[in-house]
Structure 1
Amino acid sequence: MEIKKYPQVGETLYKDVLSNGLTVFYLPKPDYNKTYGLFTTNFGSLDTTFTPRGKSEMTTFPEGIAHFLEHKLFEKKDGDAMNFFGALGANSNAFTSFSRTSYLFSTMENIAENVELLLDFVQEPYFTQESVEKEQGIITQEIQMYQDYADFRLFFGLLQNLYPKSQLASDIAGTPRSIRQITASDLYENYQTFYHPSNMTLFLTGAFEVEKMSDLVTKNQAEKTFEAISKIKKAPFSAADPIVSNKLSFDVTIPKLALGFRGYDKLSSDGLKRFEYKVAVQLMLTMIFGNTSSRYENLYNQGLIDDSFGFDFEVGSQYHFASFTSDTIYPIKLAKILRDTLKSYKIERDFNLEHLTMLKKEMLGDYYKSLNSLEFIANQFSSNLFEGVTFFDFPSILACLTLEKIEKHADKFVNDMKSSDFVMNPK
């Protein structure tokens, strides 16, 4: 077992790779009463075209199948897995993103039993065509419900602009039409391909002894039979050129703007460099547009933005983009100012060492504060799992980011980016 100490955050992380390929992380927290488990597979909404395990040709499956599979795994022949967790005094849930599907529980009792249940229910699929057809109606209602949420429509409208004709432009849950095409056989093929232990990660944190927990997990996995480890062949990610602008009439009181910047420069395959790139560009955006910047203050005082204004920088293995959203009565004017400001960020007066130093202290404070939450640690750990880098590397990466380094990373993004805006107007 590999042991890595993080003196800056006072944590010790234990990593084990089992004979079946499953990667397990243990983060003991003896002073906590709660234990949190997260079982993740590298399988998300982008993964619809691949070569199924045991076959030789690429197959394209219906949109939303990863999310559909997440729902169906809870249903067992003898009941719902959520009820089994409840009987053990635990809360359970699951979520699907563009690249991952995670199953989780939190509990203050019956820790060993809940860990076994997490492993067993995810690793014992049970799908019938009858139950699939029942679920199709439930998920169709969920999809239609989200279509009534303005902010949801705004964000995916922007993604459809930035990455046309790609899975990134599709709702993670799919469409009513694509959901109706899913069969029990499709679910098994997707499950057998992506739910192999070698494509999965188990993260456990809380009040337990690592050696005992490791014995439990190892024994549980040793009693199960899995196919030989093999590499998953996926279709490469591709998207058409961005749509410059688009709009939608919706049931809102004032217009909403979503402005996106799609990065084109190919990112390093090195996990540390990718993580540093993500943090650096996010820092640059915060220096220029954060609520401590003069640009933010000017936009707010002019009535161009309100408290809904926000931005983010998303980095995946096959894409990266910055997004801005705000309610505004001047969406076109605001979009132009944001575009012009980002393109010439280096001449902004807030792009300076003093501001950077203040923001780094603020970010580090928020980071240490977040370490009090086991749920936050586990979810961040899973979602930001770059190869060879973890959530606990954040303080050291932040400390190494000078103004010059940030400028180098930001230039890499800004010089090649293409922008698109999506405006939602009142009906």
Structure 2
Amino acid sequence: MSNGLTVYYLPKADYNRTYGLFTTNFGSLDTTFIPRGATEFQTFPEGIAHFLEHKLFEKEDGDVMYKFGALGAQTNAFTSFSRTSYLFSTRENSYECTQLLLDFVQKPYFTEENVHKEQGIIQQEIQMYQDDSDFRLFAGLLAKMYPESPLAADIAGTPATINAITSEDLYQNYETFYHPSNMNLFLTGPFDIDKMADFVKNNQENKTFVKIEEIKRQPFQAENPRSFDQLELEVAMPKFALGLRGEDEIPKSSKELLIYKLSNQIFLDLLFGRTSERYEKLYNVGLIDDSFGFSFDLEKQFHFSILTADTENPEKLSQALQEALKSYKIDKDFSVEHLDLLKREMLGDYFSSLNSLEYIANQFASEIYDDLNFFDLPEILEKITLDVIEKYAEKFINEMKLVEFTILPK
């Protein structure tokens, strides 16, 4: 649009719900940047992106959630490492809900009084997560993998950093990152696309925004990882996490980047997924149970894999996982037949997921690789062969740094 906002429309005539997702490219990692109108880098308290997400719902005339409720809609929001998203889901009043979504996100209201009130609420939320052993496992591993970096900090911050946030801080962050040029809107449902497009266009043209400025963020940096650490909590069984911090250079082109990500995800699935012989073997000898899982996360500033499990023998499990990574080329599970099975399974899951408006919107908004997006996955998946997977896995495995983190019963 003329103000820089990117809008995606996905009409679904045979559905009875409309789903909207309004996203800004601003997350927990963005704590050091040059605020709009300033000339020097400034560092803000950890957790400020998440805090701002909470505060945008509170207006001078009340909580926006009640307004969505009056329209028969549900609303929510979430903050990740790199983005903050606001959403609604409704069976009625889709235009009114779209207007409310755009208006409340694009009109901040912060005061020292309501900031102080929110500090107590978020501190309770932080404490709740401290009692979650799975969260502590993930957060503890990240802190060891990326010391002295924003990744080492909780997305919600700490009680100390939350107490340091002021209304002025919130406005500076808002004015820098909530400009339409740094945002995108995704709407899907049974609406008329021309009517909805005109409606959104009129809404945006009736608002005034300052001139677009390039956002200057501090480049992501982290100290060398700490290879091993552990923590004692009230858990019945040890919880183990193996982190693989990527040190290889990721592709520059959007197409290669998506292929790289999918290749490494499939690589883990080949070796450790539920269709692998290794999974069955580790399960049968009691080294893993249904809690075993793995993931591959990729942002332009960093990438890593995490494998986690509840296990009575963390050392033995770690050894088995590391041996599998080193000898994958001679692994029975690393085969064309197994790959074909996984690709068919992925395509089945993909086409099944297209029935969910929420899933489409969230995946689309989080995986926009310049000219590629979520709907290009089948075409990209077709290009992924065992040779392609080996090419990228080899780079990743050869240069990665290993980190182990264990939570032991008190």
TM range (shorter): over 0.9
TM-score for both structures, normalised by structure 2: 0.99
Q: What do the CA deviations read for 1:113-132 (whole angstroms, capped 9, x no partner)? A: 00000000000000000000
Q: Structure 1 residue 112: deviation in Å?
A: 0.5
Letter matched to residue 51 of structure 1: I
- CA–CA distance in 1 between the matches of 2:105 and 2:316? 49
How many angstroms apart in 2 are the aligned matches of 1:129 and 1:333?
Answer: 53
Which residue does the alignment assign to 2:25? Answer: 42
Classify the secondary structure of the residue corresponding to 2:241: strand
Q: Which runs of 5+ in 2 are unaligned?
A: none
Per-residue CA deviations over 1:243-275 (Å, capped at 9, x if unaligned) read 100000000001000110000112123222111
1:289 and 2:263 are equivalent in the alignment:
no
Counterpart AA for 2:196? M
**Residue 392 of structure 2: aligned partner:** 409
Q: Report the CA distance between 1:145 and its aligned residue.
A: 0.9
Return the alpha-carbon distance in structure 2 between the equivalents of residues 229 and 260 of structure 1.
39
Distance 2:304 2:327 in 1: 18
Q: Within the alignment, does 1:208 sit opposite 2:161 as a pair?
A: no
Distance 1:233 1:163 in 2: 22
SS in 1 for 2:270: helix
| Whole-Å separation in 2 of the counterparts to 1:348 and 1:245 | 27
Instruction: Give the partner amino acid of 2:88.
Output: F
Kept in 1: contact 2:80–2:155 (CA 8 A): yes
Q: 1:350 aligned to 321, 330, 333, which one?
A: 333
The Cα shift of 1:78 comes to 0.2
What SS does the corresponding residue of 2:334 show, helix, strand or coil? coil
Between the aligned partners of 1:412 and 1:387, the Cα distance in structure 2 is: 24
1:146 aligns with 2:129: yes
Find the aligned partners of 2:369 and 2:156 in 1 and give their Cα distance: 25
Alignment of 1:125-204 (within 5 A): 125-204=108-187
Residue 317 (str. 1) matches residue 300 (str. 2) = yes
Aligned partner letter, 1:294? E
Secondary structure in 2 matching 1:323: strand
**C-alpha distance in 2, partners of 1:221/1:394?**
32
* Matching residue of 2:12: 29
Q: Percent identity?
A: 63
Unpaired segments of 5 or more residues in structure 1? 1-17
**1:248 counterpart = 2:248:** no
TM-superposition CA deviations, 1:214-260 (whole Å, max 9, x none): 10111100000001111100000000111100000000001000110
- Residues 276-333 of structure 1 show CA distances to partners (whole Å, capped at 9, x for unaligned) of 1110111111011001101111111111000100000000110000000000000011
Alpha-carbon distance in 2 for matches of 1:113, 1:202: 15
Partner of 1:8: none
1:189, distance to aligned residue in structure 2 (A): 0.1
Distance in 2 between the 1:124 and 1:100 partners?
19
SS for the counterpart of 2:399 is coil
Q: 246, 264, 270: which is aligned to 2:247?
A: 264
Aligned length: 410
**1:386 positional shift:** 1.9
The alpha carbon displacement at 1:343 in A equals 2.1
For 1:29 and 1:408, the matched residues in 2 are separated by 39
CA distance in 1, matches of 2:224, 2:324: 23
Structure 1 residue aligned with 2:342 = 359
Once the two structures are superposed, the pairs formed by residues 216-255 of structure 1 within 5 Å of their partners are 216-255=199-238
Q: Does 1:304 align with 2:292?
A: no
2:287 counterpart letter in structure 1: L
Q: 1: distance between equivalents of 2:86 and 2:190?
A: 20
**1:388 is matched by which residue type in structure 2?**
D
Check conservation: 2:251, 2:260, Cα contact below 8 A: no
Residue 70 of structure 1 pairs with residue 53 of structure 2? yes
Tell me how far apart the structure 2 counterparts of residues 347 and 21 of structure 1 sit (CA, whole Å).
51
Residue 109 in structure 1 maps to residue 92 in structure 2? yes
In structure 2, the residue corresponding to 1:233 is in which secondary structure? coil
| One-letter amino acid of the structure 1 residue matched with residue 220 of structure 2 | F
- Consecutive aligned runs of 4 or more in structure 1 exceeding 6 Å deviation: none
In the other structure, the counterpart of 2:323 is: 340
Checking the alignment, whether the CA contact within 8 Å between 2:6 and 2:181 is kept in structure 1 is yes
Match of 1:189, SS state, is helix
When normalised by structure 1's length, the TM-score is: 0.95
CA separation in 1, counterparts of 2:395 and 2:249? 9
Distance apart, 1:385 and its partner CA: 2.0
Please list the CA deviations of residues 54-88 of structure 1 after superposition, one character each: whole Å capped at 9, or x if unmatched: 00000000000000000000000001011111111
CA distance in 1, matches of 2:164, 2:322: 41
Cα distance in 2 for residues equivalent to 1:227 and 1:318:
28
CA RMSD, 1 decimal: 0.6
Which of 381, 386, 400 is the equivalent residue of 2:369? 386
- 1:374 has 2:339 as partner: no
Measure the CA separation in 1 of the matches of 2:371 and 2:383: 17
